[in-house]
Structure 1
Amino acid sequence: MKIKILPSCFILFTLLSGFGAMAQTDEYYRPDSLKPKTPERKEIPPVEKQEFIEKKKEVDFKQQPFVDRVRLGGSFGLSLGTVTNINLSPMAGYELTEKLVAGVGVTGMYFRSKLFGINSLYYGGRAFVMYSIFPMVNLIGELETMNVEVDTFQKYDARKWINSPMLGASYSQPIGGRFIKAVHFTALYNFNYNNQLDDYGNNISPYGSPFVFRITFL
């Protein structure tokens, strides 16, 4: 009985092994389009944390406090040698609008010439307006009054006040200061230069020319 069972089991095992091998062979030779697709793994780039910085709102010009519209500075000059000229002119201005600045200043000037025997002190003040016509170009109007020495028929080395209405322009370079906001390279023309004479017909302007050039910090 046992002899008959063993051949039957052997035949059944052989048939099952053959079916398994055929199934594997069919899977191997199956076209790629019929094979089950394995899902591809997509790489997801890391999400950068975006920090949103709230932009600081610009304050309207009319809402700016008084101190933020004040400008302080001035001009100075120094020349030593046969002719000594020391000029110091502190100035203060106020921004009336975004383009218009008005202000005042005082001027002290020491002038000495060994050649002509002049040893004199000039002093006075000025009022000015500066209007920005382009971002770095300004139109400037100024009225300066100076007390100078003058020779008259009655007295030598007398003193006299002279007025100088001037008009010109400046090229400005911002420097980012709180009160000194720019340096201005200025050229002005004195419309009253030819009338600033003493009794002998000599010009008594402290600048020596109708053209006035300055470097001003304001």
Structure 2
Amino acid sequence: MKSKILLPILFLLAVLISPSLMAQNDEYYRPDSLRKDQPERKEVPPVERRPQDQKPVLAEKKKLDDFKNKKFIDRVRLGGSFGVSLGTLTNINVSPMAGYELTESLVGGVGATVMYFKSKWAGVDAVYYGGRAFLMYSIIPELHAIGEVEALNVEADTYKKYDARKWITSPMLGLGYSQPIGGRFIKALHLQALYNFNYDNQVDDYGNNVNPNGLFLGQPIVIRLTFL
């Protein structure tokens, strides 16, 4: 009797369970449609930054930090220029200068000038004096641009007085070649060529130019050899 009752119950359970098993099998073998809809993610390998790629940036930062940490005395430059010309035209020029490194590439400074000038041709025998302010910008270590304003007290003949004195102002701009020499205060030797934009106006009452600095005396080009 018990076996007759048990067999129908087992058959009923088998009928109820079989649809769910078939559904699970269908789901197991069904293609993954969701994966097709989503784009496949590609793994991007990390880019390794080589030390040589970072070197220029790090070197520039270190150079800037070193400059900012410089003491005041280490930014100071001392030097000047001098020249001697003897003969029909005598020109003895001493011009001390002092500069300060405003940035890695820019130096600002001042200078003084004392000059003994004698010309048999022009009939001049006098001492000139004055000062200057300048900015010197390093384009590359060997080449720099320089801007300068010089005020010089010179002799100038007037209709009222012979050998009168007057101040002349020379705004100048030029380029220079630098040769490092590695001194503490004198960093380099500079060969400079500057153009005097006010040269044509530096004349006495008779139209004679009174600026003694022009190249070959009578030209607006000024050539200097400067230590700074």
Quick one: which amino acid aligns to residue 206 of structure 1? P
* Structure 2 match to 1:95: 101
User: Partner amino acid for 2:162?
Assistant: Y
Aligned to 1:180: 186
Q: Amino acid of the residue matched to residue 72 of structure 2?
A: F
The alignment partner of 1:180 has SS state of coil
Q: What residue number does 1:111 align with? A: 117
Confirm whether residue 131 of structure 1 aligns to residue 137 of structure 2: yes
Radius of gyration: which is bigger?
1
Match of 1:212 among 192, 200, 222: 222
Structure having the higher helix fraction is: 2
Q: Specify the alignment match of 1:147 in structure 2.
A: 153
**Alignment root-mean-square deviation, CA:** 1.3
SS of the aligned residue for 2:205 comes to coil
Partner residue in 1 for 2:207:
201
1:136-172 Cα deviation digits (max 9, x unpaired): 1000000000000001111111000000000001000
Runs of 5+ consecutive residues of structure 2 not aligned to the other structure? 1-61
Cα distance in 2 between the residues matched to 1:80 and 1:196? 24
Report the residue type matching 2:226 in the other structure: T
Please say if 1:192 is aligned against 2:198.
yes
2 CA distance for matches of 1:116 and 1:130?
Answer: 34
Higher deviation after alignment, 115-124 or 88-97: 115-124
Cα distance in 2 for partners of 1:99, 1:214 equals: 21
Tell me the amino acid that sits aligned with residue 61 of structure 1.
F
The amino acid that maps onto 1:64 is K
Aligned residues: 162
Paired residue type of 1:147: N
Alignment-mate amino acid for residue 105 of structure 1: G
Quote the Cα distance in structure 2 between the aligned partners of 1:117 and 1:144: 24
Normalising by structure 2, report the TM-score.
0.69
The normalised TM-score by structure 1 is 0.72
The amino acid across from 2:90 in the alignment is T
